Amino acid sequence: IKNPNSKKVVKEKVVILGCGWSSYAFLMKLNTDKYDVTLVSPRNHFLFTPLLSSTCVGTLEFRSIAEPIRNSKDDFEYIQAQCLGIDPQKKTLECQGSLHGEKLFQISYDKLIVGIGARNNTFGIKGVEEHAYFLKELHQARSIRKRIIDIFEMASLPDCTEEERQRLLSIVIVGGGPTGVEVCSEISDAFLEDLSKWYPQAPINQVRITLLEASNRILNAFDEKLVKKAMINFKYSGVDIRTHTAVKEVQKDQVILQDGSVIKFGLLIWSTGIGPQKVLDNWKFMEKDKHGRIKVDKQLRVQGHQDIFAIGDCAGVDSENLPATAQVAQQEGHYLAHQFNLRAENTNHVPFEFHSSGLLAYIGKRSSLLQTKYFDLSGFIAFLSWRSAYLTRLGSLRAKIQVPFDWFRTLVFGRDITNF
Ligand code: NAD
ipTM for the predicted complex comes to 0.94
Ligand 1 pocket, residue 324 CB under 6 Å? yes
DSSP per-residue letters across 122-189: -TT-TTHHHH-EE-SSHHHHHHHHHHHHHHHHHHTSTT--HHHHHHHTEEEEE--SHHHHHHHHHHHH
Q: Does position 248 have pLDDT exceeding 60, yes or no?
A: yes
Q: In this predicted structure, what is the pLDDT of residue 380? A: 98
Let me know: does 302 contact 203? Beta carbons within 8 Å: no
Name the closest-CA residue to atom 37, ligand 1. 178
Q: Which atom in ligand 1 lies closest to the alpha carbon of residue 125? A: 18
Ligand 1 pocket, residue 220 CB under 6 Å? yes
Q: Which atom in ligand 1 lies closest to the alpha carbon of residue 212? A: 20
Q: What is the mean pLDDT of residues 38-58?
A: 97
Q: In this predicted structure, what is the pLDDT of residue 420? A: 82
Ligand 1 pocket, residue 184 CB under 6 Å? no
Q: For 331-345, what is each residue's pLDDT tens digit?
A: 999 999 999 999 755
Q: Which atom in ligand 1 lies closest to the alpha carbon of residue 178? A: 25
CB-based contacts of 70, cutoff 8 Å, min separation 6 = 44, 78
Q: Does position 175 have pLDDT exceeding 70, yes or no?
A: yes
Mean residue pLDDT across the chain: 94
Q: For 72-100, what is each residue's pLDDT tens digit?
A: 999 999 999 999 999 999 999 999 998 88
Name the closest-CA residue to atom 24, ligand 1. 273
Ligand 1 pocket, residue 378 CB under 6 Å? no
Q: In this predicted structure, what is the pLDDT of residue 7? A: 57
Ligand 1 pocket, residue 247 CB under 6 Å? yes
Ligand 1 pocket, residue 358 CB under 6 Å? no
Ligand 1 pocket, residue 190 CB under 6 Å? no
Ligand 1 pocket, residue 360 CB under 6 Å? yes
Name the closest-CA residue to atom 5, ligand 1. 272
Question: CA–CA separation, 38 vs 36, rounded Å?
Answer: 7
Question: CA–CA separation, 384 vs 64, rounded Å?
Answer: 19
Q: In this predicted structure, what is the pLDDT of residue 202? A: 86
Question: Which stretch of 102-106, 143-147, 155-159, 373-377 has the lowest confidence by average pLDDT?
Answer: 102-106
CA dihedral for 371, 372, 378, 382, sign (positive or negative): negative
How much of the chain exceeds pLDDT 90, in percent? Answer: 91
Q: Which atom in ligand 1 lies closest to the alpha carbon of residue 248? A: 18
Q: Does position 111 have pLDDT exceeding 70, yes or no?
A: yes
Q: In this predicted structure, what is the pLDDT of residue 385? A: 96
Q: What is the DSSP letter of 310?
A: E
Q: For 130-172, what is each residue's pLDDT tens digit?
A: 999 999 999 999 999 999 999 999 999 999 999 999 999 999 9
Ligand 1 pocket, residue 171 CB under 6 Å? no
- Structural domains in the chain plus CATH codes: 12-44+80-120+275-341 (3.50.50.60), 128-272+358-413 (3.50.50.100)
Question: Which stretch of 62-66, 129-133, 233-237, 343-347 has the lowest confidence by average pLDDT?
Answer: 343-347
Ligand 1 pocket, residue 257 CB under 6 Å? no
- Ligand 1 centroid vs 347 CA: distance in angstroms? 38
Ligand 1 pocket, residue 359 CB under 6 Å? yes
Q: What is the mean pLDDT of residues 64-70?
A: 96
Q: In this predicted structure, what is the pLDDT of residue 347? A: 57
Q: Does position 1 have pLDDT exceeding 70, yes or no?
A: no
Ligand 1 pocket, residue 272 CB under 6 Å? yes
Q: Does position 8 have pLDDT exceeding 70, yes or no?
A: no
Q: What is the mean pLDDT of residues 19-39?
A: 96
Q: In this predicted structure, what is the pLDDT of residue 99? A: 87
Let me know: does 218 contact 178? Beta carbons within 8 Å: no
| Residue of 348 and 192 predicted with greater confidence | 192
Q: Does position 6 have pLDDT exceeding 60, yes or no?
A: no
Q: Does position 306 have pLDDT exceeding 70, yes or no?
A: yes
- Ligand 1 centroid vs 104 CA: distance in angstroms? 35
